[in-house]
Amino acid sequence: MTASGFPNSRVIGHDVARVEDEALIRGVGRFVDDIVLPGMLHVAFVRSPHAHAAILGIDPSGALGMPGVHAVLTLADLAPHLTDTRLVVAMPSPSYRQQLHRPVLADREVVHVGEPIAAVLADSRYLAEDAAALVDVDYDVLPVVADCVAALEPGSPTAHRDASSNLVAEMTVEYGDVAAAFAAAPHRFRERLWIHRGGSHSMECRGLVAVHDVLEDRLTVWSSTQMPHAAHRLLCDIMGLGERQIRVVTPDVGGGFGPKLIFYPEDVVVAVAARLLGRPVKWIEDRREHFVATTQERDQYWDVELATDDAGRVLGVRGLLVHDHGAWTARGVNVPQGAVAAMPLAYVVPAYSMAIKAAATNKVPVTPVRGAGQPQGVFAMERLLDSAARALGLDRAEIRRRNLVPAERMPYATPMRTRGGIPVVLDSGDYPRCQQMALDRADWAGFTARQQAARAEGRYIGIGLANYVEGTGRGPYEHVSVRIEPSGRIFVATGAAAMGQSTQTMLAQIVAEQLGADMSNIRVVTGDTAAAPLGIGGSNSRQAVLAGNSAHAAAIRVRERVLEAASQMLEVAAADLEIEGQRVRLKGAEEVGLTLSQVARAAAGQAGFSLPGQAGPGLAASEELVIDAMSYANGSAVVEVEVDIGTGAITIRNLVFAHDCGRALHPRIVDGQLMGGIAHGIGNALYEFMAYDENAQPVTTTLAEYLLVTATEMPPVTILHMESPTPLNPLGIKGVGEAGVIPIGAAVASAVEHALSSFGVRVNRLPLSPVDLLGLLNAATA
Amino acid sequence: MHDIAFTLNGRPWSLRVEPRRTLVDAIRDDCGATGTHIGCEHGVCGACTILLDGEPVRSCLMFAVQADGRALRTVEGLEKDGALHPLQRAFIDHHALQCGFCTPGFLMLAVGVLERTPNISDEALTDVLSSNLCRCTGYQNIVRAVRAAAEEMAP
């Protein structure tokens, strides 16, 4: 693979070997459950079996009487050691109508199944679970809110007994004169949509190990988190400890996909328990807990309208999104906000007004899952465009081509702002050309012939497409330090957190490019608050953009120091030197040179002697490049499906994904990120459904009931690349971690509707199980 | 408590275990071989797949006592004299792992399949690989890696 985007580069832009693989492939990686400490106690949580109930009493005596049980901790036990008994983690927004900070442990009321009430600490997890079953909690069951639309109706019970309503937040994202646009528009189209997304289901669930070192008075917490620095700050705050008294480390993390960026009750309980009991403490979430205690995405109901002129050009979009918020505010309103922000983004939409109502329900809190609302927003927009194309007699690709933001208008300043108030400016790209690439490869033009041939055989095939634009690289910064040790080895530390996205490889590549091109000479530490003083962590497809560019800037500064010092030591001009492997050498006379170790030792200085060069002591630099504006990646998915009208089964025959994430640092990793997202998108479109009954009891709590895509469900996938480097950062890169998932559901819906167009089926919901599809068919043909 | 004995990657082990102790807990906690991972504990995800007398099994669905007298193989036993198994090499070459958590299970599943059925068809291979779950890769690179290793391992 050549590095088309990085001319003359030696490492970045190339498919180099991942630095993560050697340990993982041998089974000697270290995930949090692999950490074993002497005297370690194991936690099992007592969790609510009810979606909503008052707690009248908690009696731990049965559990405490068991051999091997060391403690049963309730909120009353923890409260004296906490500055606050609630997790105050909500991102700021003026939209809140009530504050729902969840408790460290529930003590008066439980508001979803799985909410933790007490922690049992025992010599083994087996014993802890035995004992947890003996903790006697006296419940008084309360009325349940199981549906977010019903939650907002007058007279609905409330998810919290003391609340006056279930409205958690409301806001309207708007610009332009929408009322005038609709009043004057010759055509209006309306869709009522229900979009469900499920959980993240990283193959590794959450987990923590905490140990308190009394000699140093320091609590070390290994956590399978996407945001170790945030966890560190929150633990310091809630435990009233100084920054040096807590260290949060992410070991190898077995996937994140969103919910691991959240700060959880279990994080506090495990950390406090380790200090209280003076023993190492481990808690590993099991899969069933993951279903009932790890945050999810879930239901959104959209009532949306599109206004166009006779040529299908968009004049305005308006509507209302009702969003299932869950029982607590575990992050904020960023999922519905992200959905509404994504909806118009690929297109020229002169006027826009989308209201959001977030409703509390007696279910697990909703926070971002890979894509973070954007798949839903794209689904809403693309459904409207299909509706308009059908009514206006336009090809579905053509109506999109007429409305996509054209390349000649880049950079395109939309009237929108991000959740942080930063203007949304589409920085670069050629969206119509990207769509055309996908159409051409999928043979969109030839589909009618394929469809007619299939129909002649009694088969129903369809083709659909969807476009997305994704804000990536959310700022403001990520910390990276680069240091050449006296040994000559290069040490890189960052606040970025790795969870499978090849973050260490990415940073090693960027640093190696400047400092000798030897990846094996570089050690990258991610997600360790003791190694990096600042950090934000993994979310928003942000780390390659923010950490990558900080690493680039820091490595360039270290390179300048190396060359400056070596130039003095060798008495040659710095411009005549180059770094190759672990040596600095004279260009054209390679025998003249120094090792990085020699330069590093000289730059470290000796008492009473001058430093070499003018660059100051040490060969180190740290950077927190501030990039507030997001870089906008884009793409187009074309999906061809076959629908079995007898069974309702949907088979994806072909999937083409054309995208633009700016320059690719590692093309094979980019493809891997996209392919994982595409698989997730297929799951969201056809299989994944987090079901609750009318009492808000979760009824899909195993992976046999909640279906993830397997190898056999993956269709042939072709990924096509455009490279429009963003001007917003020195490397010209945009994020890609979430892109794959965003347009898939919308494209599948478009294709299924197309396959069944002769029946007049309208797809207004996702996912589409065979039963759902037969229901749509029956309704259309009734 | 039961006294059991098995071999793990050729090394003999004698353990005293509760009857309810799962095999994967015995492997990870008693033998310290943490390369085998636990993803669901209900036999669906396959992260805990090991070879039991050459047969891929879910070690979370077995009790340790059921392994008495058997030969177990896990990811830690794949390397030979410091050289990676062809499947391990192929997984790296084809970027068939991202977070790496499901990888040991896929490796052991594939080893077990290819040792028994070296000439497995593409369709049958994809079908058998659907036994295990991966959330990162979208599977295609895993299928490619196993196919490539199959060619290399073919007698």
Q: Which two tokens stand for residue A758?
A: 């002769």
| DSSP assignment of A260-310 | GGS--HHHHHHHHHHHHHTS-EEEE--HHHHHHHS-B--EEEEEEEEEE-T
- The residue ranges of every structural domain in chain B are 2-77, 86-153
A404-413+422-472+630-781 and A475-623 share one fold = yes
Q: Which two tokens stand for residue A736?
A: 């890609």
The enclosing H or E element of A745 equals: helix A744-755
Indicate yes or no: CB of B135 within 8 angstroms of CB of A708.
yes
Residues 644-703, chain A, touching B (beta carbon < 8 A):
668-669, 671-673, 675-680, 702-703
CB contact A36 to B (< 8 Å):
yes
Choices 1.10.150.120, 1.10.357.10, 1.10.3720.10, 3.40.50.300: CATH for B86-153: 1.10.150.120
Which residues fall within 8 angstroms of residue A348, CB to CB, at 6 or more apart? A313, A314, A403, A404, A405, A406, A409
* SS3 track for A594-655: EEHHHHHHHHHCCCCCCCCCCCCCCCEEEECCCCCCCEEEEEEEEEEEEECCCCCCEEEEEE
Indicate yes or no: CB of B135 within 8 angstroms of CB of A203.
yes
Q: Give the residue ranges of chain A where pLDDT is below 70.
A: 1-4
- The residue ranges of every structural domain in chain A are 404-413+422-472+630-781, 475-623
pLDDT of residue A7: 86
Q: Which residues of B touch A28 (CB under 8 A)?
A: 35, 76
pLDDT of residue A3: 43
Residue for token pair 């609630």: A86
pLDDT of residue A781: 86
Rg (CA), chain B: 15
Comparing CA positions, the residue from A308, A428, A434, A323 lying closest to residue A377 is A323
pLDDT of residue A1: 37
Please report, for residues A242, A255, A296, A610, B61, the alpha-carbon distance to residue B134 in angstroms, rounded to integers and kept in the order given: 39, 10, 18, 56, 19
CB contact A257 to B (< 8 Å):
yes
Distance, in Å, from the CA atom of A587 to the CA atom of A589, rounded to the nearest integer, reads 5
For B45, the closest chain A residue by CA position comes to A703
Helices B122-129 & B103-116 angle (0-180, nearest 10): 140
Which residues fall within 8 angstroms of residue A750, CB to CB, at 6 or more apart? A382, A383, A386, A396, A462, A463, A464, A465, A466, A639, A763
Q: Which two tokens stand for residue A547?
A: 């950490």
B2-77 and B86-153 share one fold = no
CB contact A34 to B (< 8 Å):
yes
CATH fold of the domain at A475-623 = Aldehyde Oxidoreductase; domain 4 (3.30.365)
Contact in structure between A113 and A48 (CB atoms under 8 Å): yes
Residue A505: count of CB within 10 angstroms of its CB: 22
CATH code given to domain A404-413+422-472+630-781: 3.30.365.10
Indicate yes or no: CB of B129 within 8 angstroms of CB of A669.
no
CATH fold of the domain at B2-77 = Ubiquitin-like (UB roll) (3.10.20)
CB contact A704 to B (< 8 Å):
yes
Position B103 pLDDT exceeds 70: yes
Nearest to A287 among B41, B104, B141 (CB): B41
Strand A717-722 and strand A650-660: the pairing is parallel
Which residues fall within 8 angstroms of residue A352, CB to CB, at 6 or more apart? A173, A174, A175, A176, A178, A316, A317, A318, A344, A415, A416
Indicate yes or no: CB of B98 within 8 angstroms of CB of A502.
yes
pLDDT of residue A4: 60
For B20, the closest chain A residue by CA position comes to A126
Q: Count Cβ–Cβ pairs < 8 Å, chain A vs chain B.
A: 170
How many angstroms separate the CA of residue B75 from the nearest CA in chain A? 6
pLDDT per residue as tens digits for the range A133-176? 999 999 999 999 999 999 999 999 999 999 999 999 999 999 99
Residues 277-336, chain A, touching B (beta carbon < 8 A):
284, 286-288
CB contact A708 to B (< 8 Å):
yes
